[in-house]
Amino acid sequence: MKLGCSSWSYHAAIRSNRIDLGEFLRIAGEDLEVDGVELVDLHFPNTDPAYLRQMKKRCVDLQLTLAGLAVSNDFGLPARRGAERQSVQRWCDVAAYMGAPIVRVFAGWTPPPAPPRDDGRIVGFVRRIVGGSRLDSRRLWSDIAETLRLCADYAGGRGVTLALQNSRSDGIVASPLQLLQLVRDVGSPWLKVCLDPADFADNTGIDAVLPETVQAHIRIREVADDGSDSRVAWPLLLQTMQLTHYRGFALLDYEGIEDPEAAVPRATQHLRGLLHMLARQRLLSETTSRVPEPPGEAAFAHPDLDARTVEDAISHVRSDAFVG
């Protein structure tokens, strides 16, 4: 598993013009020393070929893998669905040009109820009785699946894979089983899963969606002094992903109120230590029967993380990965 950082982690700094996308890449490569980055569409000042080449070259110079791009789309609103589909397709073109293998997308959010129509007293009464203004959830699901299918076909023609991310806040896909069902309903080999475990309303079935996962987000809203997240049991979740042989990027996605320039380095350091120790745990478990552990050496050892963090989290967390 590789450690990366999404530019969304620095959204507050980019939005306030304290840094730009090029400076984010410098921070990721030189300060955070992560393996790769995800670049969000909102953080591009333009998509001129000259600018895209500049960002691509900067990634190479900083030895950063461009893990993917992300689109802030919403297929939930029927009136906007066509324009949103065209936006996703344009970013697939950008991804292909930059050499990014993945474009992260959303299914969308449940649209608000339509405003009441002034059809007169009798017609209005009949509409309320028969539910004429109710949201047709089956039709919405079918329309979104068809839109994702069109986008996946377009992406596949450019050698780009779409990664569908779950979204809990009024999202169309709020659970692992819904996420897996929508991917299966689309039925395209160019649509896979971007797993965001911290944003599931219900984590039942998370094991079933892991085989379809090509990208994972480590969404953190509160970073403790030691870099850990008190809300989510990341040691257990990352261990579960490791046991299913997930080898892709774990992308830090910070969205707390603390200044990202202070919070993100702490979280990155903690996650690096955690991934190191989980890798060491796996290596030791594979070699225990052949190579005895040196006397007095802890199974977990990394300067960025207390060894008890992983062991305590895994031993105390059982069926529910979320704390509180």
Task: Tell me the pLDDT tens digit for each residue of 15-44.
Answer: 999 999 999 999 999 999 999 999 999 999
* Cβ-proximal residues to 248 (8 Å cutoff; 6+ apart), any chain: 1, 2, 67, 213, 214, 215, 216
Q: What is the 3-state secondary structure (H, E, C) of 206-240?
A: HHHHHHHEEEEEEEECCCCCCCCCCCECHHHHHHH
pLDDT for the residue 19:
97
Residue 282 tokens, joined: 């796996």
User: What is the mean predicted confidence (pLDDT) over 95-120?
Assistant: 84
* Cβ-proximal residues to 65 (8 Å cutoff; 6+ apart), any chain: 2, 4, 35, 36, 37, 59, 249
User: What is the mean predicted confidence (pLDDT) over 227-239?
Assistant: 89
pLDDT for the residue 199:
87
Kindly report which listed range (58-67, 100-109, 201-210, 297-306) carries the lowest average pLDDT score: 297-306
pLDDT for the residue 321:
41
The string of pLDDT tens digits covering residues 291-317 is 555 555 444 455 555 555 555 554 544
Paired strand residues for 106 = 165
Paired strand residues for 115 = none
14 vs 292 pLDDT, higher one: 14
pLDDT classification of 9: cutoffs 50, 70, 90: very high
- Per domain, the residue ranges of the chain are 2-316
Residue 260 tokens, joined: 């990202």
pTM of the model: 0.83
Helix residue ranges, H only, 157-298: 176-186, 206-209, 234-243, 260-287
Task: Indicate the residue type of 316.
Answer: H
For the cut 80, the answer to whether the pLDDT of residue 179 exceeds it is yes
Instruction: Spell out the CATH class of 2-316.
Output: alpha beta
User: What is the mean predicted confidence (pLDDT) over 60-83?
Assistant: 97
Across the chain, what does the average pLDDT equal?
A: 87
How far is 85 from 93, CA to CA, in rounded Å?
13
